[in-house]
Amino acid sequence: MKLYYSPTSPYVRKVMACAIIRGLDGRIDKVPTNPHESPAVLLADNPLSKVPTLVTDDRVSLFGSQLICEYLDSLGDAPALFPPGGAARWRALKFQSLGDGILDAAVPCRGEQGKPQEAARDAQIARYKSVIARAVAALESDPPHKHVDIGSITVACALGYLDFRFASDPWRPDHPKLAAWYEPFSRNKGIAETAPQG
């Protein structure tokens, strides 16, 4: 399999964490890619020009970390990261949505912060930060379980991204229950080995 990859993308991290936890990382050929430059090879496999993009051994291109993680879950015989049904499934998928929602605000927020200051930019940044604050508060009220599944993995990648890109605005002091969940969870092999550097 081929994975269009960026080492600092939290969505790529989520995919690689799932691959490591399910013992599939050795089957993935990582292709360093800057999606913002829209290279022709990436566009040939993903018209949206985003990473992660996975090309399967059957030459099927899959994009969106949720879809890619679900595909990886269909391979091999390691325990599933997507619970097959019942309350556990909906809870895991809800946490995945919450974690992805944090990233869907935090990643463009960082983009806005790099632009020249003006009122519209500042209003958009404030809106993104409110989304992040509400989502982290919801996680403090109801942290993920210790169990490793797609929900807890995604939340860990989202919190790791806040540490990586928003270190001057630390989330731990006001969220002690979430911090107490994250500290041991982040030592899980798939999370520890994919921590962003730099």
Ligand X SMILES: N[C@@H](CCC(=O)N[C@@H](CS)C(=O)NCC(=O)O)C(=O)O
Q: Report if residue 107 touches ligand X, rule: CB under 6 A.
A: yes
Q: Report if residue 35 touches ligand X, rule: CB under 6 A.
A: yes
| Of 19-27, 50-58, 81-89, 112-120: span binding ligand X (CB under 6 A) | 50-58
106 or 175: CB nearest ligand X: 106
What DSSP designation does 142 have? S
Q: Report if residue 160 touches ligand X, rule: CB under 6 A.
A: no
Contact predicate 175/140, CB 8 Å = yes
Q: Which DSSP string do the residues of 144-197 spell out, in sequence order?
A: PPSS-SHHHHHHHHHHHHHHHH-TTS-SSTT-HHHHHHHHHHTTSHHHHTT---
Contact predicate 105/128, CB 8 Å = yes
| Of 43-51, 117-125, 147-155, 178-186: span binding ligand X (CB under 6 A) | 43-51
Q: Report if residue 11 touches ligand X, rule: CB under 6 A.
A: yes
Task: Work out which of 23, 29, 36, 127 binds ligand X, going by CB under 6 A.
Answer: 36
Q: Report if residue 39 touches ligand X, rule: CB under 6 A.
A: no
Q: Report if residue 96 touches ligand X, rule: CB under 6 A.
A: no
Phi-psi region of 187 (alpha: psi -120 to 50; beta: other; left: phi over 0): alpha
